[in-house]
């Protein structure tokens, strides 16, 4: 059987993975007793007598804080102002930030919590999470659209003078790219860093991270909506030319889908690949990836709704939620039939926000932000809502980018471990030249101090090369190198192991070769955390490609693999194997594994059944490139192709509907 790999890294590890592994299970989906779509609360942004409105999309931070922007005054008012408001998840005001002109930009949340938004006063603002100003940048024209974020923290935004600006995370100008007219569309950032932005000059521009033109595509009229980026690199674009455009990654037209109406809003993507968008004729269209119609609402031959100007959102069950000019939020089933309708106090042309916990937020022209109960979480597909995610980053992470140079570090696995065949097995390879010193730890009893119940009472750790035991440990303080194990743990940022505990650890200097670390129980089964830290060594080697095998038990939690991407962006293939393991002699494999990828509390991507997430040809090419065994066509094994910026991540594997059995998680660097 092919064994997935670790490879060694020169970079020191920064922190232990317990905080990632301990709480990842069950992150998404807060339970709501109320019915789906019912009103939870409405926050009044302005008194009824004060002129103003909410036209921008609301945003939800990972901690649940809700942000939205207000226009104060009308187009004919002598004085116009803006206001950015932060609310608790319960709808209580946290703070308000005032600007001297309208804010029509959705706030965008960086990974460090910074809030970015544009204003009609020509400034791009960056606020701290407490609402204080971090910095602002004055551009050469008003800013009516939302910014987007690059993998390195870059901020991209367009202005009324037709320029696309790139700032670094500190607000320093990196470059300016000119178009021929007002940019009223939000940019989108591809996995390779390409910035896609539409202009009222009828063109979509593909701009390199260095600010140079890669290509441009001309539609038949204005482009006011942000593009949606598919997992295969296809760019989907709406235009006032009454067409949905599908554009290949090299800028060639793939197909167009014509409607009788103007398309003002951004498209979104369902997990089945359908492209969903609204029209000024009051309809929602769903189009297959080949450009043919899947459904429309209201159905052909029925009267349309009032004009629709805002992007819908897709939930994890395939349902579609959108706000309408008929003073309502409407939810459609995956087949395009109406599921429910909730009245608002006024019409809305703000994009819907579906939060990771399922809550639905939308602003209306009555100056209220509405929060509706949602029993279905947001989709974690390629582009399920405006700005891709609830933080509105506009950054695609699903898909492949060529020649990414980031590296994996800080590898850890949390799972149930037992004796014999129920061991937790982690595989890796020391590749390259020279040697690296690794600190390996099998944590059991110490997990109780972090709130983990059912921890493995007495983990035993064995390091093997092929079938040969290289080293073993049971109780970390019993070895001669115990003091050095403790010192190296401090060096690499690991939490300390208390004295007189039954946790196990090894400090090993390894040359090139394939290795596995086995965590077995000296007693009954329990939760264990296996960690691999790079403690230094000769250059020319690196750590990459993690695999771990364990048994999913009833009520035993998920298999969780934690890792860090360092230095630069990296494309990874992540797989959760179940049924395919039968071909390798494992008769108790989990029948239907599901895979979820998190960054902190944020669900970035998920998959259940690998063949639904891309063409078989693309998967075969990646399998061959990384040396992985192929998954059978139509199998219920799960897989993701993602391109991730530097940061800490966890991959979570569980059985659908609580399914149990042996599973294998694999994380491969894709060359």
In the structure, what pLDDT confidence band is assigned to residue 567 with cuts at 50, 70 and 90?
confident
Contacts (Cβ under 8 Å, ≥6 apart) of 183: 145, 158, 159, 160, 162, 163, 164, 197, 198, 199, 200
How much is the average pLDDT of 239-258? Answer: 98
Out of 41-55, 68-82, 360-374, 615-629, give the one with best mean pLDDT.
360-374
Burial 471-492 (b: 16+ CB within 10 A, else e): eebbbbbebeebeebbebbeeb
The answer, yes or no, to whether residue 459 has pLDDT greater than 90, is yes
Encode pLDDT of 337-355 as tens digits. 999 999 999 999 999 999 9
Out of 263-267, 423-427, 662-666, give the one with best mean pLDDT.
263-267
Residue 33 is predicted with a pLDDT of 59
Contacts (Cβ under 8 Å, ≥6 apart) of 524: 418, 457
Determine contact, residues 46/72, Cβ cutoff 8 Å. yes
The two three-digit tokens of residue 248, written as one number: 């290949």
Determine contact, residues 70/46, Cβ cutoff 8 Å. yes
Encode pLDDT of 28-67 as tens digits. 344 445 899 999 999 999 888 888 889 999 999 999 999 9
The answer, yes or no, to whether residue 24 has pLDDT greater than 70, is no
Domain boundaries of the chain, sorted by first residue:
18-26+408-605+646-669, 58-226
The two three-digit tokens of residue 31, written as one number: 């339970």
Integer-rounded Cα radius of gyration of the chain: 26
Residue 566 is predicted with a pLDDT of 85
Could you tell me which residue, 18 or 55, shows the higher pLDDT? 55
For residue 78, the SS3 value is coil
Out of 116-125, 417-426, 445-454, give the one with best mean pLDDT.
116-125
The answer, yes or no, to whether residue 11 has pLDDT greater than 60, is no
The answer, yes or no, to whether residue 185 has pLDDT greater than 50, is yes
In whole angstroms, give the CA distance from residue 193 to residue 395: 9
Q: Say which DSSP state 73 is in.
A: S
Residue 75 is predicted with a pLDDT of 77
Determine contact, residues 534/12, Cβ cutoff 8 Å. yes
Determine contact, residues 574/606, Cβ cutoff 8 Å. no
In the structure, what pLDDT confidence band is assigned to residue 430 with cuts at 50, 70 and 90?
confident
Residue 418 is predicted with a pLDDT of 81
In whole angstroms, give the CA distance from residue 484 to residue 570: 33
How much is the average pLDDT of 369-378? Answer: 95
In whole angstroms, give the CA distance from residue 544 to residue 606: 21
How much is the average pLDDT of 296-305? Answer: 95
E strands present in 489-579: 504-510, 513-521, 526-537, 546-552, 559-566, 570-577
In the structure, what pLDDT confidence band is assigned to residue 4 with cuts at 50, 70 and 90?
very low
Contacts (Cβ under 8 Å, ≥6 apart) of 36: 331, 339, 340, 373, 374, 375, 376
In the structure, what pLDDT confidence band is assigned to residue 3 with cuts at 50, 70 and 90?
very low
Encode pLDDT of 88-108 as tens digits. 999 999 999 999 999 999 999
Residue 17 is predicted with a pLDDT of 45
How much is the average pLDDT of 575-588? Answer: 92
Contacts (Cβ under 8 Å, ≥6 apart) of 541: 7, 8, 9, 10, 430, 431, 432, 433, 434, 435, 436, 512
Instruction: Report the percentage of the chain scoring pLDDT > 90.
Output: 73
Residue 420 is predicted with a pLDDT of 77
Residue 89 is predicted with a pLDDT of 96
For residue 420, the SS3 value is helix
In whole angstroms, give the CA distance from residue 438 to residue 424: 18
Q: Exposed, middle or buried, 210 (CB in 10 Å: 0-12/13-18/19+)? A: exposed
Encode pLDDT of 148-160 as tens digits. 999 999 999 999 9
Residue 170 is predicted with a pLDDT of 97
How much is the average pLDDT of 101-130? Answer: 97
The answer, yes or no, to whether residue 21 has pLDDT greater than 70, is no
The two three-digit tokens of residue 26, written as one number: 């069950």
Spacing of C-alpha 61 from chain mean position: 13
pTM: 0.90
The answer, yes or no, to whether residue 7 has pLDDT greater than 70, is no
CA dihedral 248, 253, 258, 264 (to 10 degrees): 60
In the structure, what pLDDT confidence band is assigned to residue 182 with cuts at 50, 70 and 90?
very high
> 18-26+408-605+646-669 maps to which CATH number?
2.60.120.380
The answer, yes or no, to whether residue 16 has pLDDT greater than 70, is no
Domain at 58-226, CATH homologous superfamily: YVTN repeat-like/Quinoprotein amine dehydrogenase (2.130.10.10)
Could you tell me which residue, 401 or 536, shows the higher pLDDT? 401
């Amino acid at each position: 059987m092919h064994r997935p790999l670790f490879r060694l890294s020169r970079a020191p590890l920064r922190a232990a993975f317990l905080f990632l592994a301990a709480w990842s299970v069950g992150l998404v989906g807060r339970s709501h007793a109320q019915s789906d779509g019912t009103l939870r609360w409405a926050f009044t942004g302005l008194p009824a007598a004060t002129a103003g409105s909410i036209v921008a999309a609301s945003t939800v931070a990972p901690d649940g804080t809700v942000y939205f922007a207000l226009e104060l005054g009308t187009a004919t008012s002598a004085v116009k102002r803006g206001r950015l408001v932060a609310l608790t998840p319960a709808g209580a005001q946290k703070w308000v930030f005032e600007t001297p002109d309208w804010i029509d930009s959705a706030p965008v949340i960086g990974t460090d919590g910074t809030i970015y938004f544009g204003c009609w006063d020509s400034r791009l603002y960056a606020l701290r999470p407490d609402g204080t100003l971090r910095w602002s940048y004055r551009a050469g024209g008003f800013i009516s659209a939302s910014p987007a974020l690059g993998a390195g923290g870059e901020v991209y935004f367009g202005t009324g003078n037709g320029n696309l600006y790139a700032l670094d995370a500190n607000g320093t100008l990196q470059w300016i790219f000119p178009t021929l007219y007002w940019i009223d569309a939000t940019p989108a950032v591809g996995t390779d860093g390409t910035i896609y932005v539409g202009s009222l000059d009828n063109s979509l521009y593909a701009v390199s991270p260095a600010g140079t033109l890669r290509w441009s595509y001309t539609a038949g009229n204005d482009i006011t909506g942000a593009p949606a980026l598919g997992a295969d690199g296809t760019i989907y674009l709406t235009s006032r030319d009454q067409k949905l455009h599908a554009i290949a990654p090299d800028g060639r037209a793939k197909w167009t889908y014509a409607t009788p109406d103007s398309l003002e809003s951004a498209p979104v993507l369902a997990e089945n690949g359908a492209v969903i968008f609204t029209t000024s004729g009051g309809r929602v269209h769903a189009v297959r990836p080949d450009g043919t119609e899947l459904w429309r609402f209201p159905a052909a031959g029925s009267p349309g709704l009032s004009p629709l100007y805002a992007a819908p959102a897709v939930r994890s069950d395939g349902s579609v939620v959108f706000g309408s000019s008929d003073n309502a939020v409407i939810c459609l089933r995956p087949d395009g039939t109406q599921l429910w309708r909730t009245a608002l106090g006024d019409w809305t042309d703000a994009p819907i926000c579906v939060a990771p916990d399922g809550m639905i937020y939308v602003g209306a022209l009555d100056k209220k932000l509405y929060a509706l109960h949602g029993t279905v979480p947001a989709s974690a597909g390629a582009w399920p809502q405006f700005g891709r995610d609830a933080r509105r980053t506009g950054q695609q992470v699903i898909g492949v980018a060529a020649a990414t140079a980031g590296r994996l570090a800080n590898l850890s696995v949390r799972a149930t471990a037992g004796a014999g065949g129920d061991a937790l097995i982690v595989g890796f390879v020391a590749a390259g030249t020279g040697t690296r010193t690794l600190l390996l730890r099998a944590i059991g009893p110490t997990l109780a101090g972090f709130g983990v119940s059912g921890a493995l009472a007495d983990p035993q750790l064995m390091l093997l090369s092929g079938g040969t035991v290289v080293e073993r440990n049971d109780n970390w303080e019993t070895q001669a190198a115990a003091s050095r194990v403790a010192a190296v743990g401090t060096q690499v940022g690991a939490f300390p192991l208390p004295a007189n505990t039954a946790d196990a650890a090894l400090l090993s200097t390894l040359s090139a070769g394939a290795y596995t670390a086995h965590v077995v129980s000296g007693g009954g089964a329990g939760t264990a955390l296996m960690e691999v830290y790079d403690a230094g060594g000769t250059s020319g080697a690196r750590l990459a490609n993690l695999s771990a095998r364990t048994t999913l038990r009833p009520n035993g939690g998920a298999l969780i693999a934690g890792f860090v991407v360092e230095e630069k962006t990296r494309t990874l293939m992540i797989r959760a194997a179940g049924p395919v393991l039968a071909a390798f002699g494992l008769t108790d494999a989990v029948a239907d594994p599901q895979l979820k990828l998190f960054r902190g509390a944020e669900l970035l991507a998920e998959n259940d059944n690998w063949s639904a997430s891309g063409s078989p040809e693309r998967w075969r090419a990646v399998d061959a490139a990384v040396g992985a065994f192929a998954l059978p066509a139509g199998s219920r094994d799960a897989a993701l192709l993602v391109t991730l910026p530097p940061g800490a991540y966890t991959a979570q594997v569980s059985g659908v509907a609580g399914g149990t059995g042996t599973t294998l998680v694999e994380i491969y660097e894709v060359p």
